Amino acid sequence: MNCRETENALQKYLDGRTSSVSATIREHMTDCPDCRELYQAAQELTSALEALPRPQVGSLLTQQIVASVQKDQARIQRTNLRFRQSLGGLAFAAAILLSVLSYLVIPQFWEATPSKQPIAKEKAVANDGPQSIPAQVGEAAPRKPEVLRPHKDPNQDLSPEEELRVKFVEAGSAVVKLQDKLAKQTQEQAKLLWKVAQADNFPKLTLVVKVDPAPNAINPASKSLQQAGAGVTTGFRTVTDSAQRAVSYFARTIPPVARQPQTVQ
Amino acid sequence: MANEELLLVQRCLNGDASAITCLVERFQSDVFGLCLRLLNHNQDAEDVTQEVFLRVFRSLHRWDQERPLKPWIMGIAVNRCRTWLSQRARHPELVDYLHDTVESRPADDSSELASEIQVALGELRVDYRSVFVMFHEQGLPYEDIAAALERPVGTIKTWLHRARLEVLERLRRRGMIPEVGHELS
């Protein structure tokens, strides 16, 4: 038995796995004052640890902890709600941005694409007569802007919450107007193209009319132009619908505002 | 016990205020005891205990239900104490500590040894101190301490043995061991 083995036995004793040391260790400690002193200290430590006073928790600590936990959880819930609201606002802003970008980019695309000219020309020829085409082009697309108005008497006083809703509905209407403006621009461009096609120095138009005036031969081109127009309308309708949905969602997520007492003057 | 803890945690996650109070009352003594031993400062220990429970409730949904709850909470407590100690080392406030440190002077001879043990614990490194307190004061088995500190059981045993030897050495140096005769129990 040596000091290392004695130390291991001492650790087992302190672990509580043994209640006393073996005879061989006793024999070693008789001859080894260091190990004997260590063992004595371990015994003192064991008894002192049992008598060591446990830390006393303050009487108010529980209430403080519970209050801070509840406050923290309420704060987290508020943060989550605010995040959802800002997400709705972000969707609304994105829809507006998309609408504006579409408005800015699409006309440039139409102007920069020369292949659109023959299509417009063919559509013009496909109709009853050259002189009536501009009027028909102008009549084909017109659509009254669907201005959304709140079903509310304008003379009636509105609460702050209702006023806010009205403003957002008006913002949605502005998007619809924007789409309508774009459609009108497209019509104007089509009219312009038609005028170019009617010019005397435009040989292809004359050639087409003379060679094959039958409407059936031109109908496919007319259909493709109609499909293109319908495609543009459908594309913008998606953007408009998204904007309207964003406006509705944002209006729904607005927390109710308490009505301010009105003072009678 | 495990099912009871699971039920308690589920109630806490559902926002039951009485369950929150119940969980705090169940573990606050151990958490505060560990914080007090590691920080050696009453007010700091209370503040860190509060922080520990905030973190416990924030991450309660991430608790592994297959493992016991107490070691998980004690692990959070040790980590918060480590952070607090590093912050305190950077920004010491000596005046406060003169008034609020844990009583280290003995009131009489009987408590002198206890005071020496507390001082000896204060001189241990945080890992050794955590293991010593969790084993000897809170009675946690090696496996739970290993789970709390995320270390192998062998490492925990080594740390505990070294902590004991350092405490015993200090007690010997300070003359806290009575004269030893040849009679051994």
For A11-43, the pLDDT digits (tens) are 888 888 777 778 888 888 888 888 888 888 888
Cβ-based neighbour number of residue A146 at 10 Å = 13
* pLDDT above 60: residue B159: yes
The pTM score is 0.57
CB B156 within 8 A of CB B143: no
A55 contacts B33? CB cut-off 8 A: yes
Task: Residue B24: list chain A partners with CB under 8 A.
Answer: 62, 65-66, 69
Share the mean pLDDT of chain A: 72
Find which of A5, A69, A75, A76 to mutate to test the B interface (most B CBs within 10 Å of its CB): A69
A64/B50 Cβ within 8 A: yes
| Average pLDDT of every residue of chain B | 84
* Cα gap B73→B28, rounded to integer Å: 10
Minimal Cα–Cα distance from B52 to chain A, Å? Answer: 9
- The average pLDDT across A116-127 equals 49
| Distance between CA atoms of residues A153 and A48, nearest Å | 85
Q: What is the pLDDT of residue A65?
A: 93
**Please, which pLDDT band fits residue A259 given cuts at 50, 70 and 90?**
low
* Interchain pair A41, B171: CB under 8 A: yes
CB contact under 8 A, B32 and A55: yes
Q: How large is the average pLDDT for residues B27-31? A: 93
Rounded Cα distance between B17 and B166, Å, is 44
Nearest CA in chain B to A64: B50
How many angstroms separate the CA of residue B92 from the nearest CA in chain A? Answer: 24
State the smallest CA–CA distance between residue A84 and chain B in angstroms: 20
Q: Which residues of A touch B108 (CB under 8 A)?
A: none
Q: Is the pLDDT of residue B25 over 90?
A: yes
Residue of A nearest to B173 (CA): A41
Q: Do B24 and A69 touch (CB under 8 A)?
A: yes
pLDDT at position B101: 54
What distances in angstroms separate CA A85 from CA A89, A92, B73, one per listed residue?
Answer: 6, 11, 34
Among B117, B137, B168, whose Cβ lies nearest the Cβ of A42?
B168
Average pLDDT over every residue of B85-106:
62
Chain B nearest-CA distance from A249, in A, is: 28
Q: How confident is residue A166, by pLDDT bands cut at 50, 70 and 90?
A: confident
The per-residue DSSP string of B169-183 comes to HHHHHTT-SPPP-S-
